[in-house]
């Protein structure tokens, strides 16, 4: 994560879940933002990690966020950041973690560039201790890098950010998008998208290389160039860049970064064991100094200098964030020989004790191995959460491989995310540490729990959305919108399920299942009588397009103006195209020439032609006795269809 300005952050001052008061922003990353908060219930500072709102509707990101909580919560180790709580507040998914004031290993490297061999081993020892605990719990970190190694002010070193963690037995491919930082990706992640414990070992080896040399082994202008080098090139020995690196550390780094995962340590525990041996060897065999090495100096209130003999793996101490100089004050001539003599004396004593300890260890190795795998911790296994989503048969095979006894009978459990019929949980639960041979019952998903569905049709969208989310359903970020003459803009006119079917008549729906709101855009504007330009502007104002179609005669709409808009069939949304029909004006027809015709015949001809006829009413008394003398307009004249023709009649006698 990278630090960021918080002047406009709306989360500052907010109370999350009625418990966590957000005080300030600490960092912001690709998935979430981390804040310093106060836990009002326990009156302590905590780190509050809140997932970005735009990812909340993305099931993949949400599950990855929840996975971080589950993965980290299963670990209890001095070198792993503790996770206290996880929850949802309105539209904010969050994690609550311990707050560690201090810096990251990245910041330390930015300030000092190259660390000494002793400092590198101290930090690596703490990192591998925490990583070994994760591997024993069946968890692969998959994003190990200096940014995720926290160096606390009080000297503690902890691994954080298990956001990409997966079960160690899952070997899940990541797909096209490689997860993790490219500079620390193992070759198998680049080429096959598959990670296991050995992928973490590769990342740890790259980190050790960077601490010893001040640079990463592979460089490139584009991420894919670096990824290509990871997949095809061998990591060089750190001593090729820094000739002060001991040969033993060279070998350790090259072993951890072997391109073939089968040639690396199997897990962090194995690499930690060999790192400890290298530490002991280097302490008992002083290395020749070929050049000055920068020394880190602490203020009086800070913690123990890296490279000093650490009391234990869990309590390895590092620099605090406030360093004021790069070189220590020189020792006096009297102090220097005395210090060296004391160091050598202590080293000889340690060598004697180490030799005795090795003899005792070798003598008891057989007994210890038998106890470990018989009655000790080696006889226990972790029920893996990688069983989730498997078929019952596949899950049983995985349990048998771990030395557990799956039952033939299965149980049932509601699960909103796992397809019915697949494994959703186990008894004992995922993450439980049990003895080999323990009976495990598979709990199969029967789909989401049905919850009452609130009535939202007829309400405004800004009311319907929180009502659905508060009732336990997922609402698609983008609503479907249609023009509707019966509902004002913003009103919900339908609710769809995940398959796109209407939920208008439903009273229940599955927990966390997706719904989509169908919202009215209001009626399509009435453009009759407007000029084409005015009609086009009115339609564009609501997101509709228009084209000119045919023109028609109209007795009511002036020539050139719009008579009507032809609307396509089906629901109309923004972007639809309407055809405008314009007026030709009133149709022109010729007045029939009826002069000299008997009135009874002439009248019928005029009326059949659509004209109104004006004449002397007396002609109706004896129509057969009158003839047409003339018409106004005269016969053959073009006039508006439906116009009035005045007829002059002559009595025939």
The yes-or-no verdict on residue 66 having pLDDT over 80 is: no
Which H or E run contains 463?
A: helix 461-470
> Residue 28 has what pLDDT?
76
> Residue 4 has what pLDDT?
41
Give the tens place of pLDDT for each residue, 528-555: 999 999 999 999 999 999 999 999 999 8
Determine if the peptide bond prior to 316 is cis (ω within 30°).
Answer: no
> Residue 567 has what pLDDT?
92
| Mean pLDDT estimate for the chain | 81
Give the tens place of pLDDT for each residue, 109-121: 999 999 999 999 9
SS3 (DSSP) at 489: coil
> Residue 379 has what pLDDT?
62
Say how many C-beta atoms besides its own lie within 10 A of residue 515's C-beta: 22
User: Among 185, 226, 221, which residue's Cα sits nearest to residue 203?
Assistant: 185
Pairing of strands 514-520, 480-482: parallel
Calculate the alpha carbon distances from 505 to 453, 454, 501 in Å: 10, 11, 11
> Residue 320 has what pLDDT?
32
Q: Cβ-count burial of 245 within 10 angstroms (0-12 exposed, 13-18 middle, 19+ buried)?
A: buried
Lowest pLDDT segment from 179-193, 416-430, 508-522: 179-193
Pairing of strands 577-585, 545-553: parallel
Q: What contacts 341, CB < 8 A, 6 or more positions away?
A: none
The yes-or-no verdict on residue 373 having pLDDT over 50 is: no
d(CA 378, CA 136): 10
The yes-or-no verdict on residue 375 having pLDDT over 80 is: no
Tell me the catalytic residues.
143
pLDDT band at 42 (very low <50, low <70, confident <90, very high): confident
Q: Are 6 and 25 in contact (CB under 8 A)?
A: yes
Give the tens place of pLDDT for each residue, 401-451: 999 999 999 999 998 888 999 999 999 988 888 898 999 999 999 999 999
Q: How large is the average pLDDT for residues 342-369?
A: 48
> Residue 204 has what pLDDT?
97
Q: How large is the average pLDDT for residues 132-138?
A: 89
Q: Cβ-count burial of 423 within 10 angstroms (0-12 exposed, 13-18 middle, 19+ buried)?
A: buried
The yes-or-no verdict on residue 463 having pLDDT over 70 is: yes
- Write down the residue that tokens 């020539």 correspond to: 559
Secondary structure in 3-state letters for 164-207:
CCEECCCCCCCCCCCCCCHHHCCHHHHHHCCCCHHHHHHHHHHH
Domains in the chain, please, with CATH? 15-98 (3.30.200.20), 103-287+298-323+339-356 (1.10.510.10), 384-445 (3.30.10.20), 450-520 (3.30.10.20), 532-585 (3.30.10.20), 588-651 (3.30.10.20)
Its pTM stands at 0.46
SS3 (DSSP) at 537: helix
Give the tens place of pLDDT for each residue, 314-334: 333 333 333 333 333 333 334
Q: How large is the average pLDDT for residues 182-199?
A: 86
Lowest pLDDT segment from 135-149, 214-228, 295-309: 295-309
**Which residues, in sequence order, are bridge partners of residue 590?**
638
Highest mean pLDDT, choosing among 90-94, 257-261, 614-618: 257-261
Lowest pLDDT segment from 185-189, 370-374, 471-475, 551-555: 370-374
% pLDDT > 70, the chain? 78
Give the tens place of pLDDT for each residue, 252-294: 999 999 999 999 999 999 999 999 999 999 988 655 544 434 4
């Amino acid at each position: 994560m990278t630090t960021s300005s918080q002047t406009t952050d709306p989360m500052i001052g907010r109370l999350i879940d009625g418990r966590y008061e957000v005080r300030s922003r600490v960092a912001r990353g690709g998935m979430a933002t981390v804040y310093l908060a106060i836990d009002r219930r326990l009156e302590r500072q905590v780190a509050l990690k809140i997932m970005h709102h735009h990812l909340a509707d993305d099931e993949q990101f949400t599950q990855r966020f929840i996975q971080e909580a589950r993965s980290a919560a299963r670990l209890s180790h001095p070198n792993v950041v503790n996770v206290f709580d996880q929850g949802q507040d309105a539209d904010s998914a969050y994690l609550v973690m311990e707050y560690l004031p201090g810096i990251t290993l990245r910041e330390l490297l930015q300030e000092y560039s190259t660390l000494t061999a002793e400092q590198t081993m101290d930090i690596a020892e703490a990192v591998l201790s925490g990583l070994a605990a994760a591997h024993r719990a069946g968890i692969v970190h998959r994003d190990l890098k200096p940014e995720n190694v926290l160096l606390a002010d009080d000297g503690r070193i902890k691994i954080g950010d298990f956001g990409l963690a997966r079960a160690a037995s899952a070997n899940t491919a990541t797909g096209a998008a490689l997860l993790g930082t490219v500079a620390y990706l193992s070759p198998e992640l680049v080429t096959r998208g598959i990670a296991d414990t050995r992928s973490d070992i590769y990342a740890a080896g790259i980190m050790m290389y960077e601490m010893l040399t001040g640079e990463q082994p592979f460089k490139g202008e584009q991420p894919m160039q670096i990824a290509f080098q990871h997949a095809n090139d061998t990591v060089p020995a750190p001593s090729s860049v820094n000739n002060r690196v001991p040969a033993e550390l060279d070998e350790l780094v090259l072993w951890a970064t072997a391109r073939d995962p089968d040639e690396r340590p199997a897990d962090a525990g194995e690499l930690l064991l060999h790192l400890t041996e290298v530490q002991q060897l280097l302490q008992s065999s002083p290395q020749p100094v070929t050049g000055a090495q920068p020394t880190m100096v602490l203020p009086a209130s800070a913690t123990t200098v890296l490279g000093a003999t650490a009391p234990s793996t869990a309590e390895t101490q590092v620099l605090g964030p406030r360093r004021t100089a790069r070189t220590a004050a020189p020792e006096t001539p009297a102090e220097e020989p005395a210090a060296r003599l004391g160091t050598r004396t202590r080293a000889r004593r340690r060598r004697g004790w180490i030799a005795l300890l090795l003899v005792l260890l070798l003598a008891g190795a057989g007994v210890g191995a038998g106890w470990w795998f018989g009655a000790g911790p080696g006889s226990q296994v972790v029920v893996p959460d990688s069983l989730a989503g498997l078929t019952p048969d596949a899950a049983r095979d995985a349990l048998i491989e771990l030395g557990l006894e799956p039952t033939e009978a299965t149980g049932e459990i509601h699960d909103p995310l796992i397809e019915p019929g697949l494994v959703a949980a186990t008894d004992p639960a995922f993450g439980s540490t049990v003895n080999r041979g323990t009976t495990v019952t598979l709990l199969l998903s029967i789909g989401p729990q049905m919850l009452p569905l609130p009535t939202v049709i007829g309400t405004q969208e800004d009311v319907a959305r929180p009502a659905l989310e508060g009732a336990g359903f997922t609402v698609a970020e983008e609503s479907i919108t249609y023009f509707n003459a019966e509902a004002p803009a913003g009103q919900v006119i339908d609710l769809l399920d995940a398959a796109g079917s209407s939920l208008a008549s439903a009273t229940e729906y599955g927990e966390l299942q997706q719904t989509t709101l169908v919202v009215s855009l209001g009626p399509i504007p009435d453009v009759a009588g407007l000029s084409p330009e005015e009609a086009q502007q009115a339609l564009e104002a609501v997101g509709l397009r228009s084209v000119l179609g045919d023109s028609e005669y109209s007795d009511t709409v002036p020539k050139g103006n719009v008579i009507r808009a032809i609307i396509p069939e089906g629901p109309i949304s923004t972007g639809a195209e309407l055809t405008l029909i314009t007026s030709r004006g009133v149709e022109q027809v010729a007045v029939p020439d009826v002069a000299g015709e008997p009135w009874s015949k002439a009248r019928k001809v005029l009326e059949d032609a659509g004209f109104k006829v004006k004449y002397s009413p007396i002609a109706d008394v004896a129509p057969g006795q009158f003839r047409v003398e003339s018409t106004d307009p005269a016969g053959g004249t073009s006039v508006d269809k439906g116009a009035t023709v005045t007829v002059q009649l002559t009595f025939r006698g």
